[in-house]
Chains A and B, each alone.
Chain A
Amino acid sequence: MSYRVVHYINQFFAGIGGEEKADHKPEIREGVVGPGMALNNALGDEAEIVATAICGDTYFATDIEKAAVEVLEMIRKYNPDAVVLGPAFNAGRYGSACGAMGDAIATELGIPVVSGMYPENPGVEMYRKSMYIIETPDSARGMGKAVPAMAKMLLKLLKGEKTGLPSEEGYIERGIRINKFYEKLAAERCVDMFVSKLKGEPFVTEYPMPVFDRVEPNLPVTDMKNATVAIVTSGGICPKGNPDHIEASSASKYGEYSIEGYDDLTSADHCTAHGGYDATYADDDPDRVLPVDVMREMEKEGVFKKLHNKFYTTVGNGTAVASAKKFGAAIADKLKADGVDAVILTST
């Protein structure tokens, strides 16, 4: 019995038409369409394309979430073992559609997905963490090269075989770190690398330095006297006993708590959940990390109009950047909805 594969392509590769047909609504057809023929051949006896999902690029790009759900439901009916997307080469909207579909399928169906794109396709940056994207040339002239590589990768994933490095398998680096045991101690590897660097010999770093997002500061608040100000912290201050069990490290959540009626936080009512600093002094007086006392004084003095009655808190200790981003966006939405004008962020 061979594996059941569904193939996703756009209106152009389905032979329906170019830009004038880009609003083509999602459909699914039994068997192979267009480039699916070559893909099916490359898969050999081990896997077979049972259906081909087709969607116009403009249709998909207009409402990505809606289109992804529509196509996903069509694909789901075919009960596939894996899905192949594209290849999209350097076609931006097509690449983004393949990426969004791959992300949805990996999340919802939990089955292997493989796509193929040119490294500069915007779909790569958006979705490379979600799936294996085989590196292709920038146009359909590279179909002959792309398809066998995609088929090979897909079969490996279907059979649960160990996948190699990007350079070995031909996929675009996903940016996911995987642990492994090496032959030598990390200390010995480090000294070996040090010797190579001193001698001017080639070496490969085990962790290329990351590049960070830079956030442009907002403009200053113009009317402070009438502003509602909130306090948000990554220092872990929470009601005593940490009722929502925010983790001491690698936080999976943030807390939202009322400070209505509090002029001062004390060790009787608040503490920190944070496991990354000497918490003795924060537990002793939680205002040291979440300065409710000073903020109340300033509120009374009229420096600003109102201290927002809720604070948000998490633990910024070993917490993944992706989690922190998610918490930040969610907290910002809530603060905006509550009419907060400015936020004081405290860290530790």
Chain B
Amino acid sequence: MKLELHKVKVSKLAWGDKTAVRDGVLFVNKEELVSMLSEDERLAKVDVELAMPGESVRILPVKDVIEPRCKIEGKGGIFPGMVSDVETVGEGKTLVLEGAAVVTTGKIVRFQEGIIDMSGPGADYCPYSQTNNVVLLLDPVVDLEKHDHEAACRLAGLKTAAYLAECCRDCEPDRVDVYETLSFRESMHAYPDLPKVAYLYMLQSQGLLHDTWVYGVDAKKSLPTLISPTEVMDGAIVSGNCVSACDKNNTYVHLNNPIINSMYEHHGKDFNFVGCIITNENVTLADKKRSSSYSIKLASMMGLDGLLISEEGFGNPDADLIMNCWKAERAGMKTTLLTDEYAGQDGASQSLADSCPEGDACVTAGNANEVITLPPMEKVLGYPDEANIIAGGWDGSLASDGTITVELQAIIGSTCELGFTKLGAYTI
């Protein structure tokens, strides 16, 4: 499978009569976009705002962030099973509006939503403070059931991301990145002197706002399976907004999975990267046992020497991470783990809810309980009062002058377990 990512650089946003990119500026036809989104009868009110890096703007409660992409050549369409047909993706050419993002906000669905500050100290922790954000403010009709509310917001984000890119499909790319994975028949014989490795990609699947979708299938209802890294780049994996804001894997970071990118860089030099296994993080013990055993069985069938494992969320999924780790190690594979930590506001408690001696190689994306003060912003998109109830906030997080004091947990992507930030932690 070979995929070319045609990257069109976006360094600024502006309103325009026609949605298009010119000289690094993404012009957005607001009326057209609002009208398209308003077709969803579950949404009572739709508005769109623009937020750019460095501005005194705060967005909350944020549900998801999505990068605008569309297929320009090859089978299938972007976000298959969600806004495109369920044809297999991952081959051909895909247009990417690099530097732009769609951010969904509006009335809160559940506690697991977060904050993006476009400037100030919070911006240092948030990957989406550096993107040019087309912000969707979505309010549901009265008494909309919560699962439907979440689905409406998710769909609005994906539709917008596809729409923006589609409008720019004829643009000349500023850069083309090429990714290729070989068939097993070829990859098993490639680089005979290098260890064969894969990436075990854990997807959050604990329920409302803890869901991930693969080709439109709810990950909790699927056994672990194989996926090509290039399928992921075409939106085969979509976030249904999951767990706390800091360590939910937003659709944006699935599309740009930095573990996959880094494994490609080492491919052919330090190891032979043969593919990805996706697995879920269901809540029952039977599911955890089944999924971890099945994942490691797939890894064994592939004859792997090593498995890099990333988690999504914390607490309950720590048990999945640890089962995956020791089962792989005991099956003869070397593992390295990527997680984050909940060590308490003082950093003095255990960081994980489960543990095994085999987990001797672990990278962390930081302690999500660390408290940060976010000074007031001139403009707030969304509902600032929700700072008092979102995960990582508490009654009184929002001060009368607009200052917000919260745990990093409340900042979108701050301790991303796909390793999308430079944050980490050490022990004193």
A contact set with B: CB distance below 8 Å: 129, 163, 165-166, 173-191, 193-195, 197-199, 203, 205-212, 245, 247-250, 252, 275-280, 316-323
The answer to the question of B285 belonging to the interface, with a C-beta cut-off of 8 Å to chain A, is no
How many inter-chain residue pairs (CB < 8 Å) link A and B? 252
Per a CB cutoff under 8 Å, which of A183, A194, A245 touches B361?
A194
In the complex, are the beta carbons of B349 and A321 less than 8 A apart? yes
Which chain B residue shows the least CB distance to A196? B361
Known: A173-B428, A185-B421, A210-B350. A247 touches B210 (CB 8 A): no
In the complex, are the beta carbons of B391 and A318 less than 8 A apart? yes
In the complex, are the beta carbons of A178 and B392 less than 8 A apart? no
The answer to the question of B1 belonging to the interface, with a C-beta cut-off of 8 Å to chain A, is no
> How many Å lie between the Cα of A197 and that of B197 in the bound state?
12
CB of A277 to closest CB in B, whole Å = 6
Measured between beta carbons, the chain A residues less than 8 angstroms from B195 are 198
Provide a sorted-by-A list of 27 A–B residue pairs whose CB atoms are within 8 angstroms: A176-B347, A181-B422, A184-B422, A185-B262, A186-B424, A187-B419, A194-B308, A194-B336, A198-B195, A207-B339, A207-B341, A209-B360, A210-B351, A247-B393, A247-B394, A247-B395, A248-B389, A249-B407, A250-B391, A250-B409, A276-B391, A277-B207, A277-B316, A316-B315, A318-B244, A318-B391, A320-B342
B356-372 interface code vs A (CB 8 A; 1 in, 0 out): 11011111111111100
- B355, B361, B416 pick with most chain A CB within 10 angstroms: B361
10 closest Cβ pairs, A-B complex: A278-B207, A187-B419, A320-B344, A275-B111, A186-B419, A245-B395, A249-B391, A278-B208, A187-B258, A248-B111
> How many Å lie between the Cα of A275 and that of B210 in the bound state?
10
Main secondary structure of the interface of A (DSSP, over half): loop
Measured between beta carbons, the chain B residues less than 8 angstroms from A280 are 146-147, 207-208
Measured between beta carbons, the chain A residues less than 8 angstroms from B390 are 248, 275
In the complex, are the beta carbons of A206 and B315 less than 8 A apart? no
In the complex, are the beta carbons of B362 and A206 less than 8 A apart? yes
Per a CB cutoff under 8 Å, which of B266, B360, B407, B428 touches A178?
B428
The answer to the question of B328 belonging to the interface, with a C-beta cut-off of 8 Å to chain A, is no
Known: A166-B428, A206-B426. A277 touches B349 (CB 8 A): no
In the complex, are the beta carbons of A187 and B423 less than 8 A apart? no
In the complex, are the beta carbons of A321 and B336 less than 8 A apart? no
> How many Å lie between the Cα of A318 and that of B391 in the bound state?
9
In the complex, are the beta carbons of A195 and B339 less than 8 A apart? no
- A178, A205, A209 pick with most chain B CB within 10 angstroms: A209
Per a CB cutoff under 8 Å, which of A180, A187, A190 touches B425?
A180
**Given A191-B336, A318-B244, 15 other A-B residues pairs in contact with their CB atoms under 8 A:** A187-B257, A187-B420, A190-B259, A191-B308, A194-B306, A194-B334, A194-B361, A209-B352, A212-B350, A247-B391, A248-B111, A249-B407, A250-B369, A275-B112, A321-B344
